[in-house]
Amino acid sequence: MSSLLVTTVAGAVFGVSLAAPPGPMNAIIAEESVLRGWTAGVRAGLGALLADAIFFVLTLVGVTAVVQRYDLLSGLLYLLGGGLMLFFAVDAASNARAEAGFVDGETTVGATGFQKAFVLAITNPYQIVFWLTVGVGLARPGTLALADHVPAPVATVVGDLVVETGSPTLVGGFFGGIVLWVTAFPAALVAGGRRVDGFAPAIAAGSAAVLAGFGLLFCWLGATALL
């Protein structure tokens, strides 16, 4: 296998491992997918992807480092992000009560998944920290031990794989992996939703719970940072 292909695959694995774990962005993607269809779910995923692309550019020029220097700014971001998550949690809970089952077909009614995911991602201090640390390493020339930066199950698969950083191929593979997740995840949810009666309200309720949990956590972290 050529080094170019290895780097591309490594970047894709890294991107999927970053996008796949449960969290507020996947909660939004899941809600949009089962209530409004595959296209709505993908749009939500692309909202989060756009935020990552912006963070990548800002990291290259050193702008995001400002957040790390000021505790006040970091605390305010936690409060803002947490407040938005709680707001969207209420919306998801309302959807869970309103929907009787999976919406069979694409609809544009209330299609705000892109905006929701983008706003949550762009105000998420965790993502800012990622781009200040691991994300910087993607663009700077050097090496990256993939197993040190992915979840344990993925680490056992990649083993001792070390890739060259600072390569457009690695960055392209990384964002390609995220694109793969935000298209395949909604497709799997839509397929499942069409087979299981009542799947949509259950997913919406689960999304509300995830968003509420992360919202409360972020608000607590923000209040702690400001006190």
Q: Which candidate, 133, 131, 152, 124, places its Cα nearest to that of 217?
A: 124
30-34, 129-133, 175-179: segment of lowest average pLDDT? 129-133
Average pLDDT over all residues of the chain:
75
User: What pLDDT was estimated at residue 105?
Assistant: 47
Contacts (Cβ under 8 Å, ≥6 apart) of 30: 41, 185, 189, 203, 206, 207
Cβ burial of 141 (10 Å; 0-12, 13-18, 19+) is: exposed
pLDDT tens digit sequence for 78-103? 777 778 778 777 776 776 565 544 44
Q: Which candidate, 155, 167, 164, 136, places its Cα nearest to that of 61?
A: 136
**Residue 113 corresponds to which amino acid?**
G
Q: Which candidate, 34, 44, 181, 206, places its Cα nearest to that of 113?
A: 44
Which carries the bigger pLDDT value, residue 66 or residue 60?
A: 60
Query: Residue 13 above 50 pLDDT?
Result: yes
pLDDT tens digit sequence for 167-204? 788 888 889 999 999 999 999 888 876 655 555 666 66
Which carries the bigger pLDDT value, residue 23 or residue 174?
A: 174
pLDDT band at 110; cut points 50, 70, 90: very low
Task: Tell me if the pTM is above 0.75.
Answer: no
Compute CA distances 68 → 56, 108, 135, whole Å.
16, 38, 14
In angstroms, the CA 120 to CA 87 distance is 11
12-21, 153-162, 174-183, 217-226: segment of lowest average pLDDT? 153-162
Token output for 171:
């960055």
Compute the C-alpha angle 130/134/135, nearest 5°.
75
Radius of gyration of the chain (CA): 18
Do the beta carbons of residue 142 and residue 165 sit within 8 Å? yes
Q: Which candidate, 199, 190, 143, places its Cα nearest to that of 6?
A: 143
Q: What is the percentage of the chain residues whose pLDDT exceeds 70?
A: 66
Do the beta carbons of residue 154 and residue 17 sit within 8 Å? yes
